[in-house]
Amino acid sequence: IDSRKSTSEGIQFLGDKLVSWMSKKHNCTVMSLVEAEYVALSASCAQVMWMRTQL
């Protein structure tokens, strides 16, 4: 089934150590590949910003 919902995956490293990974299907429906990439980038940036507050 093509739900047109964006799925984003991401991994974050600190040096050479994997510290976080995620895979998430977003609640929003996207109309283009560019919009899907923007949604994925936004989620990844939010994760990195949260990680910075924890260090």
Q: How far is CA 19 from CA 6, 9, 46, 48, 49, in A?
A: 24, 14, 15, 11, 14
Q: Does residue 3 register a pLDDT over 70?
A: no
In a domain, 51, yes or no: yes
Segment 39-49 shows an average pLDDT of 82
Tally of structural domains, the chain:
1
In a domain, 50, yes or no: yes
Range of the domain at 41: 29-55
The SS3 assignment for 4 reads coil
Q: Looking up tokens 């299907």, which residue turns up?
A: 25
CB-CB neighbours of 51 under 10 Å: 13
In a domain, 43, yes or no: yes
Mean pLDDT of the residues in the chain: 78
What share of the chain in percent tops pLDDT 70? 84
Tell me the whole-structure pTM to 2 decimals.
Answer: 0.57
